[in-house]
Structure 1
């Protein structure tokens, strides 16, 4: 019996229970790998153990969010310290002030609001842009993933109202000519241009300096806002990937690593752009969220970000660059930057299972995300597993 067949046999009881109460036996579409994924039991540092006892080095890290891996003692202690006094309140807490101050200093944008996910952060950014500009049109780029709200998924997806497409323009990725033509034609209608400077689902290829600067200059020229989605890429610099391009967006969305392993999202921006959310201002935009800015998440997230300082970022990016260089030298098609790498292979499912058997948990689309507990011994293991898997699938 093969490794995969044996694992599927051992996890069959869980799968049978799951399909009775969850559509397809799963809640998160991004985690599904045919015929069904294994079930995690525990994690420690860079490693995860599944329900069969199989251990894998975690290069998924809950889709890039676990920057310090699993069960980091300082992050866990920060969360535990809060929980002894309560988990959430119908009042604000000092935690949101402290964390907003930290993010403001790192990212370079003065005003912040918190939510519970990257999807919510993008939703809030779009609402802020439309409220501030008084315009409706959102411009985004095909293939980039910005969560699951109606405005940022394909207009022909099931459940999306047909009329929504009138207020969203979807352009080819990094197509300067098409973008410039759209802005020339409809710039006065554009509320915001939403861009991920290294979109995972579009191949994890960094935007060129010229295109990033073009988006910034065109939005300024036409009075529109530039929203940079840093939900995944915030890990690549002290204040995110946009700082490496030397541009200052009007709004930045953040999530994943800022929660310290807990659900988190945030929107940062210029003070005047976020002013519509001010409950004392005119044109007030209401935006709630029962668990937004809860102190458990924010204290855990604050400690995680404090630990992820400039030195930690530089070390992890260097580790990722070395891994990717080794992969390319071995003939593996790999893109990305720093601690994020995307593997390109026609047999996505086959590659996932090969890696899992060899002790590596990747994203189901070939995403590799490193975490701070990893060292060169770990990346050597990851490199060998990937290269040998490619050879076996050739």
Structure 2
């Protein structure tokens, strides 16, 4: 993993023994850092506008003092990204850090592994040129059964069938490590054996990654684990980091099929996404669930990405207008909303393992998906050219 030019660790309130132990655990992860006693080295580097990571070990027991630290750190220039390290903090304090766009927080006990993922997913904060690296599209379900995997499958086929992205390497990653079913949509067997790298992520290389890919004749690759309810619902941040980093090196466009439940790494994956598509159903409870997800996205600073809402299985009027359109417009007046109409072909396509976008491009539901693809491809730096 490439690290920023400068990583500094500052003690802002924990005892010396804890601080030395923290520094040792971070360095054991091959993260090179410099321990500092004040912000003077940061101020010196500021004049050269060099990128700086500032890790601040603080005590969360005195909330007033902790909030003063937050206020001070979020005033630093854009070339500095701060990561607070402490015990548990209130959600409001975490939100204040994230809303600055230049700060994050990790828990003291798990700081080294959490830092690794943040250093990776946030490295574009400084110097990655526009247009470099893959396009990452996260599909986030607002509830179970809203068709998140169906949308992911149809969107992938739509994208790989287009002239602009026809020669791109496109994959879907299913982050549901217990009940994954994305491969069912392609009539494929899942091949990602996460247990093989769970304790030794350094084993993962290009050859092993190729073995983990389920390859569809359309050209779309899928990374998904076989269904196993005894499998851990989440995995270590270090393992996920290694997996995503290697996939990012091999693919131009990555669609991430998120599970309903959020894990410790969810916010970091969302922050690394150029587009976030929230899927749901056009009912009153469904719209409330979507609103809850949007609120959570804003709290994680994932709102820096472009966000769209997909209302799946929407009923249409005789004239082709979505039912409850006026109510949806009132609830999500500032959001980009896509309506994917209900179609009997959707169920049939799942049953035979062949996406609708391969069977009938003229089908109205497929055209609805095409509008979502247009949205993704018109974003700046959307894919490699």
TM-score (normalizing by structure 2): 0.29
Tell me: higher relative CO, structure 1 or 2? Use CA pairs within 8 A at least 6 residues apart: 1
Counting helix residues as a fraction of each chain, which structure ranks higher? 1
